[in-house]
Amino acid sequence: MSTFPVGKLPSDVLRELLGLLPGGQRVILGPAIGEDAAVLAMPDRYLVVKTDPITFATDAIGWYAVRVCANDIATTGATPLWFLASILLPPAHATPELVHCIFDQIATACRALNIGVIGGHTEITADLERPIVVGCMLGEVDPDRLVRTGGARPGDMILLTKGAPIEATAIISREKRAELLSHFSPAFLDECARFLYDPGISVVRDAQIAMRVGGVTSMHDPTEGGLLTALWELAEASGCALEVSLYDSPELWLPNGKKLCEFYGLDPAAAIASGALLLTVVPERVSALLHAFRQAQLPIFQIGRVVAGPAAVNDLKKGPLPRPQRDEIARLF
């Protein structure tokens, strides 16, 4: 019997499975390829809900869980407000110190974003080899400010903040430090590990700046599968083609992350990239958006445009880019 590779289910399989699921009342946005949060109609606003597990990282896992879930709330234009977590612990490592550390990470990350922790579940789970935290985040947005991944339209410009792959750089340096110390200096690996916090894996501030400027038609958080998968998800959700310039834009790729990916033979374009916000904007608001990000001292790059046609991602140098089958760093675990 064949099995799926580590990582997300293949998009064609997932699309078929989603078609089997029942809908619900007051659902504005339900499960769909490329859409990372659900949206429900409340009497005077929309409730936005997100759930996500942290499975690659073990170091700072509580921090990851909060930040990753908050990102997907923010990319809808909503404000993340409430958090729940299911914490699954391996019997061999379920020490009081580990539990306290994870709770402290969740508390610290939530306080930084003014998010309340409202519940969850904690257990020691048989046959588990490492901790897993499954986060659930809720937020609110005014109906006229909702943004969808599938909102991009032909003519929109495609932009990316900060660069990539931020999260892969942090995970590789933290999880593979002992192995990497024979090839890289401790100072270099410390710098890579700090990518978790600087430039950081949060895009909440990025999304808030973009929403203040206006003209945003879609936003997406490049997580598993990296920037390339995020572009494909945006194209599929929007029903459009994307023309991009990834391989003629060296400034997009963070030097530290590129070095670590090259060491392991990984493609940085397909490595988990939380911390960078992918967005599409109507052309007449691009200048104002670039100015706002410069004022905020946040890097931002124009990487392409949306065009009419079936979902596809075409690089101006390399031509059609295939959809990654799994995240590159999955090969390390």
- Residues 307-316, mean pLDDT to the nearest whole number: 96
Q: Report the candidate in 287, 285, 315, 288 with the shortest Cα–Cα distance to residue 303.
A: 315
Identify the pLDDT of residue 38.
96
Q: Which residue range(s) make up the domain with 16?
A: 11-145
Q: Is residue 4 part of a domain?
A: no
Q: What are the pLDDT digits (tens) for 63-102?
A: 999 999 999 999 999 999 999 999 999 999 899 999 999 9
CATH number at residue 46: 3.30.1330.10
Given a cut of 80, whether residue 257 has pLDDT beyond it is yes
Percent of the chain with pLDDT over 90: 86
Q: Where residue 6 falls among pLDDT bands split at 50, 70, 90?
A: confident
pLDDT for 178 beyond 90: yes
Provide the pLDDT confidence category of residue 7 given band limits of 50, 70 and 90. Answer: confident
Domain boundary among 145, 168, 196: 145
Mean pLDDT of the chain: 95
pLDDT at 58 over 80: no
In a domain, 2, yes or no: no
CATH of the domain at 271: 3.90.650.10
Burial of 249-280, coded b for 16+ CB within 10 Å and e otherwise, reads: beebbbebbbebbeeeebebbbbbbbbbbbbb
Query: Looking up tokens 């550390």, which residue turns up?
Result: 101
> Which pLDDT belongs to residue 95?
95
Q: Are 165 and 226 in contact (CB under 8 A)?
A: yes
333: pLDDT strictly greater than 80: no
Amino acid at 162: K
The per-residue pLDDT for 275 is 96
Strands, E assignment, the chain: 27-29, 38-41, 46-54, 79-89, 116-124, 132-141, 157-161, 216-220, 241-244, 278-281, 300-307, 312-315, 319-320
Checking if the pLDDT of 151 tops 80, the result is yes
What whole-number distance in Å separates Cα of residue 146 and Cα of residue 85?
25
What token pair was written down for 180?
Answer: 């990497």
Mean pLDDT for 133-157 is 97
For residue 11, give both structure tokens.
């998009």
Report the percentage of the chain scoring pLDDT > 70.
100
| Number of domains observed in the structure of the chain | 2
Task: Judge if 251 and 175 occupy the same domain.
Answer: yes
pLDDT tens per residue, range 93-129: 899 999 999 999 999 999 999 999 999 999 999 999 9
Q: Give the SS3 label for residue 146.
A: coil
Rounded distance between C-alpha atoms, residue 9 and residue 167, angstroms = 20
Q: For residues 221 and 35, is the Cβ–Cβ distance under 8 A?
A: no
Kindly state whether residue 1 falls inside one of the protein's structural domains: no
Judged against a pLDDT cut of 90, whether residue 56 lies above it is answered with no
Residues 46 and 155 in one domain: no
pLDDT > 90? residue 57: no
